[in-house]
Amino acid sequence: MANLKEIRSRITSVGSTMQITSAMKMVSAAKLKRAQDAITQMRPYANKLTELLGSLSSSLDTDDGGIYSSQREVNNVLLVTITSNRGLCGGFNAYIIKSATTLINDKYANAKVDILSIGKKSSEHFRKNAFNVASSHDDIFNELTFENISKIAEEIMEQFASGKYDKVLLVYNQFKNAATQIIMNESYLPIQTVNIDDHQIGDYLFEPGKKDIVDELIPKSLKTQLFKAVLDSHAAEHGARMTAMHKATDNAGELKKDLTLTYNKARQAAITAEILEIVGGAEALNG
């Protein structure tokens, strides 16, 4: 059994760790509220815009679909992986890295795959493991704005339009609640149209015309879709970290309780041994 000094040292260490994890949990909870409000407000607009664009695109002739709807043989793929810059958030980053790796090795094994990384954890992992990281945007979370995300979206759109990539996918965690994140492998380009009849859109007059409206909406919709994915991941990260720190705090509390019990037993055993020695010595003197 460890001596009393060692046990006291471990109790102090665990207590300090518990204070840190508890503080991190509170910080993540505060950040989660803001991030959750942002994605909750953004998601209905982004979904409706995507739905509208898909409906309008489906009613156009194939030749009028635009460069961003171009269906090509998939030889070159760009994976946009969205992770965090920091750890201590459970399996949040590991799940994205694993999902992207599976896509590269299985679904797109016969294609050339590049990675556009958003978040240090994915860029560090894929560079370390000799994957082709075309570009990384690790500082985007320092100032998470629509304007900054739009620059990344424009870069991706330009590369797709030039024919550098035949398909672009987003791999990220979608926020459901503080304890649950959903891994998304979402098609970004080419734009997926919805197979519906013209009358299902409604009896509307389009001015100046459907194609002009679609051409105007496509860049805006793609920027919004990427912004929504980053906001989703941002909220999911804080939720995952809050949950991880909550569990860590609970585990530290249990460990501290067990160590305190062990310490009390060892102290009691030491006191009992001292009493026995005193009694034994007194009897020896009396004898």
**Residue numbers annotated as active site:** 89
Report the relative pairing of strands 76-82 and 180-189 from DSSP bridges: unpaired
Side chain identity, residue 52 = L
Radius of gyration of the chain (CA): 29
Cβ burial of 210 (10 Å; 0-12, 13-18, 19+) is middle
Do 67 and 103 contact (CB within 8 A), yes or no?
no
Q: What is the 3-state secondary structure (H, E, C) of 206-218?
A: CCCCHHHHHHHHH
| Dihedrals phi, psi of 167, to nearest 5 degrees | -155, 140
Q: Confirm if 68 and 57 have CB atoms less than 8 A apart.
A: no
How would you write 86-123 as a 3-class SS string?
Answer: CCCCCCHHHHHHHHHHHHHHHHCCCCEEEEEEECHHHH
Determine the Cα–Cα distance for residues 83 and 91; give it in Å rounded to an integer. 11
Alpha carbons 194 and 77: distance in angstroms, whole number: 23
Q: Name the burial class of residue 81, with classes exposed (0-12), middle (13-18) and buried (19+) by CB atoms within 10 angstroms of its CB.
A: buried
